[in-house]
Structure formats: C-alpha cells, structure tokens
Structure 1
Amino acid sequence: MSAAGRSPQRGFSLIVVLLMLVIAMVLGIGAAQLSLVGERSARNDRDAEVAFQAAEAALVDAERDVLGPNPASAQRLCLFNGTDVSAFVPGCGVAGMQQGLCAPAEVGDKPPWMTIDFAAGNARSVAYGTFTGQSYAAGDDAAKARAGTLPARSPRYIVEAVRNFGGWQSNQLQSASAGKASYLFRVTAIGYGMQEDTQVVLQTNLYKPGASPGCPS
C-alpha cells in the first residue's frame, strides 16, 4: 500500500487520541470538583458540630446559673424564683446581676429571644461563665487570635421568665387569672462555629418553683 493510502488512517488515529485526552481531562476535572465539594461539606459539618457543642455548653452554664449548684462569687441564684421574677427587665437587663434577664413579653409582642442581638458587644446577653466562673476556650478569648478548631467566639445566652399557664404537674393547672402566678425560665443559647457566621441556637425550659436554699423566700 502506498504512503498516500496510509495518511488518512494516521489522521483518524490522531483524532481518536485527542478525543480520549479530552475525555480524560473532563473526568479528571469532575473528580477534582467532587473532591472539593466533599471536603467543603465535611468542613461545614465540622463547623456546625463545633457550634452545636458550644450552644449545648451555654445551656449547661445557664442551668448552673439558674438552678445551681454554683459556688462562684458572682453567682445570682437568689434572683431565680418561680414565684418572683421582679429582677427580670423588659427587653432584657444590660448591667450587673440583671444582665441577660428578660421579663415576659407583652401579649402580641415577639419574645425577647427573637429580638435580642447576641453579638459579643451587646450586653443584653450573657457570655459563658460570667456568673459561674467557668471558662470556654474560644477565638475571642485570645485577643481575637485565630480560633483553629475552636469556636470563633464564646457562646452566650439569655434567660426569659415565661408565665407557666399549664403548671408543672398535670393535676395542678393554673388559669390565666390565677392569683399566684408561677414562671418557668426559658434559656436561649447561641454557639458559634470556627467561622463566626456558623451559628446554632438551642433552647430549654428550667423549672424552679421557689428560691434556692439560703435565699429569701
């Protein structure tokens, strides 16, 4: 066979090789993108888990603040009494022992936890350990240094007094016009992930029918 007859075959082989190279490049790019997406997803999951654990820690700290035991010198156990919420402030307290204590919202108004700014610069919420003496490692605890695998900032919480219309025991229901109102304490806590914009909010209700031992009843 002449050389002229072999040229079309060599040209066709070149096209096939080029097509295979293109296909290999497309597959390689796709695999790289999938790997990046998987890595990003794993990183986001870890960030959310860090924020969730921080929010849970804030709930535990708030429970110690409200119910005790709390041997810290800054403790304020006597302010939490299911029959006396006079220490709670409309719109949430901003200073001293009343910081983060929120009076019940007026009928028709949004509850405090939906309106309060939980930012570190806002004194209406309580930073972890403020009244318990506990500490929680976070990025903002090291002069805003890089947090690494720690939360970007310390978790925070507020405590709302919530009218207990249903009673705690099913056989001790209260009406809306009950002469002696009792209250539950609703804690709303926020935790941050390694990225500050990753946030988890958790809530719990605490029941404390009376004053702590040693407090005025």
Structure 2
Amino acid sequence: MFRPSQPSSGHAEGGVALPVVLMFLLVITILGTLGIRRATTGETLSRNQLDYEVARQATEAALRDAERDLRLDVSAIMPNALCARGTDRPAQGSALASPAFDTNCPRGQCRFELSYYDSSNYTTVTNPEPWWPTINAKQGRWDGDPASAASPKPGDATGVNTNCTFNGSVPLGTFTGVARIAGVARQPEYLIEYLARSDDKVMRITARGFGADINTEVVMQTYFRPYLR
C-alpha cells in the first residue's frame, strides 16, 4: 500500500551565515580604520607641538641675542660675529640719540615718533609698525627695506653672505657671534625699536623664530633698558 511521505521535522536553513560574517568584517574594518586615523592624528599633533616648541625656543634665543646686542661695546668685534656695530649707537652709559635708528630700521634699529604709533591701524594698513607680518610691500621690516627689494643679510640662506649694511631684521648672531640654530627652516631674527617718553628711554625688542616647518612661526616681544644716563 502506498503511504504518503511524512514531512521532515528539521528546521529549514535560512542562509544567514554569510551576511553575519560580512557584517562582522565590515565592523572590524571600520574599527581598524578609525584606530589608524586616531593614531595618525595623535602623531601629527605631537609633531606640531614639538615644532612649535622649537620655534618658541628659537624666538627666545633671538630675544636674548638682541639684549646682548644692546650691551655690546661699540669698539668691540665679537668672536665669530659676521658684522660689527661700530658707531651705530653711543658708548655704554651715555644718552641714546643715535641717528642710526630710523624708520628704515637700518641693521635692525627702528625709530618712529610716538604720534606714528598712536595712529597705527593694522586693518587699514595705516602707519605699519616694523614688527607687523609682511603681507605686502607696505608692512613689516622682516624682509628688508619695503621700498626696494629685500636687503640680503648676514646669515641668510647659506650663512656666507657678509652684507652688513642691510635694512630690516637682524638674523641671530650677526653682531654677537652666537652660533646658528640647527634644524630650523630659517634662523630666528629680531628688530629693536627705540621708544622715548620724556626721560624714559626704552627699547622694544620683537623677535620671531621658526620650527622645522617654515609655516611654524612664533613672535615674542620684550622691553629693555640698556642705557643709563
């Protein structure tokens, strides 16, 4: 006698193993990618912070170098210095009234009337102060005389240039003989502004330094009284 077959008691296979495995692979890939990106970002931040510290220390070195410059004996030529100050300023202990300080910042020495500073406006580029960033030819004295091509300076590029009649900022060690800093994109430099209010004669020093990347730049200022009446 023919008997109809009984239905199987087993559960039918749904075929879900492959999608589950693929989903796990996708999650693992995403987590791995995020981990690599996080590690790369952390390394970049650490490198940027290190470069900033290099630029900051280079700037501080330029500030100290400017103070040494202001203490120089005018008749002395420092060992390893590329240039001598000569008669740029009077001897120590005398009143400062040297014509070597003017608006062109010869050899890093700037002097403007106080009324000039009172009317300075960065937004409208009115009466640009010498330490302003050099955005165009009308601003800043970092790259030489803005009325002409930038003045080559001692220590620029290869360090063999011995032009000592430049306008604008002073590269590190030009007058003091301090050793150049290794591992920076450009040597730190400084400007000295002569500020006189009645009998109070003060120098404002502005320095800027760079890290290994030329785009990492730090600017600092300090005030200094080198001369006593």
Unpaired runs of 5+ residues, structure 1, are 94-98, 139-149, 165-177, 212-217
Aligned partners of 2:95, 2:33: CA distance in 1, in Å? 62
TM-score (norm 1): 0.72
Q: Is residue 89–residue 96 contact of structure 2 (8 Å, CA) maintained in 1? A: no
Which residue in 1 is equivalent to 2:159? none
Which residue in 1 is equivalent to 2:110? 102
Q: Is residue 170–residue 190 contact of structure 2 (8 Å, CA) maintained in 1? A: yes
May I ask how many residue pairs the two structures share in their alignment? 178
Instruction: Map residues 53-92 of structure 1 onto 2, 5 A cutoff.
Output: 53-68=57-72, 72=78, 74-76=84-86, 79=89, 83-92=96-105
1:86/1:78 Cα in 2 relative to 1: closer, same or farther (>3 Å)?
closer
Aligned partners of 2:86, 2:206: CA distance in 1, in Å? 18
1:119/1:71 Cα in 2 relative to 1: closer, same or farther (>3 Å)?
same
Which residue in 2 is equivalent to 1:188? 206
- Looking at secondary structure, tell me which structure has more helix per residue: 1
Q: Secondary structure at the match of 2:208?
A: strand
Deviation at 1:75, TM superposition (A): 4.2
Aligned partners of 2:130, 2:23: CA distance in 1, in Å? 63
Aligned partners of 2:169, 2:176: CA distance in 1, in Å? 15
Aligned partners of 2:187, 2:201: CA distance in 1, in Å? 28
Deviation at 1:17, TM superposition (A): 1.3
Aligned partners of 1:195, 1:44: CA distance in 2, in Å? 9
Q: Secondary structure at the match of 1:31?
A: helix
Paired AA for residue 91 in structure 1: N
Aligned partners of 1:6, 1:151: CA distance in 2, in Å? 71
Unpaired runs of 5+ residues, structure 2, are 1-6, 120-126, 133-138, 145-149, 152-166
Pair 1:50-2:54 in alignment: yes
Q: Secondary structure at the match of 2:206?
A: strand
Deviation at 1:137, TM superposition (A): 2.7
Which residue in 2 is equivalent to 1:145? none
Q: Is residue 82–residue 182 contact of structure 1 (8 Å, CA) maintained in 2? A: no
Deviation at 1:136, TM superposition (A): 1.7
TM-score (norm 2): 0.68
Aligned pair partner of 1:21 in 22, 25, 28: 25
Q: Is residue 95–residue 228 contact of structure 2 (8 Å, CA) maintained in 1? A: yes
Which structure 1 residue ranges, 4+ long, deviate > 6 Å from structure 2?
none
